[in-house]
Structure 1
Amino acid sequence: MRMKLERWYPLGFPGGAECAWTAAGLGAALLYGWCRFAAPFQRALSALYESGAGRVRVLIPGAVMAPFPTFLSGVFTGFWALALCMPALAVFHYAWHFQGSRSIYRMRRLPQRWELWRRCLAGPLAGALGCLLAAGLTLLLCLLCYWFQTPAACRAADLWAMTGGVS
């Protein structure tokens, strides 16, 4: 079942295109965040090993991986940037009502008092919620990568050391 987007966007507004652009922005932010995590993590992971005889990688005795939060620098930048665009998008939705046939007059006269604000804020709020969910998914993917690629003997004693730790 497909939800009608016309109910959630200003009259005559291309809501489908906005959804597509928001999804593309979320995908780009997720890819950027993953790259920001993967590059330093792979360097740190390679530093745990030394080359043995015959190009075999041998784990360095006593080597310890840095705590997980050290690899999160800049991971959420794309999500913050996209989320900061959402208030401007809400203003754009409001300004859209003043274009063309001046649907602002119709919106103000409707019996549903909150119809105008629902149409102006629904898309940006959904985009901000999407940013939050995608950032959480990125954090989970990074944590799973850290957990399963780091040898158990090399994991930091306190995985969340830089955040005050988890008791």
Structure 2
Amino acid sequence: MPELGLKVNGRSVELRASHEASLLHVLRNDLGLNGPKFGCGLGQCGACTVWVDGTAARACVIPAHGVAGREITTLEGLGTREHWHPVQQGFEDAQAAQCGYCLNGMVMQAAALLAREPNPSEARIRSELSGNLCRCGTHVEILDAVQRAALRIAEGAGT
């Protein structure tokens, strides 16, 4: 298998991976990162969302070799329990997680939105998250979580 060099959560890693391996497969199976989830395998549910150079992307449909040398951020790299990203804190405060299926994708997509647009309208948040599926139906709590995060950022409690 060919060598693959990635930058994941601020750390350079070298490994061997087939050219067919998806970024999601490498992150979960080779690097042991469990934030991104396997959902649909088609890039439609959002459970596998990561950032590639700061932009939200679906890791299940990205060839790992296609992002060699680019900065990959997973949920594990967004924040820590000691210093959560405002979106992670918002999800806890709003009790927005139930089964956890959508959690990774919703958090990563919402954080990418707030990085681009720190004070989005409710309609903009709904639009941004519309491609992420939530099986439990906690959409109201998720919206509340993102709005709480935007307020924290506005108050200077950002990342």
TM-score by length of 1: 0.27
Which structure dedicates a bigger proportion of its chain to helix?
1
Relative contact order: is structure 1 or structure 2 higher (C-alpha 8 Å, sep ≥ 6)? 1
Structure number with bigger Rg: 1
TM-score by length of 2: 0.28
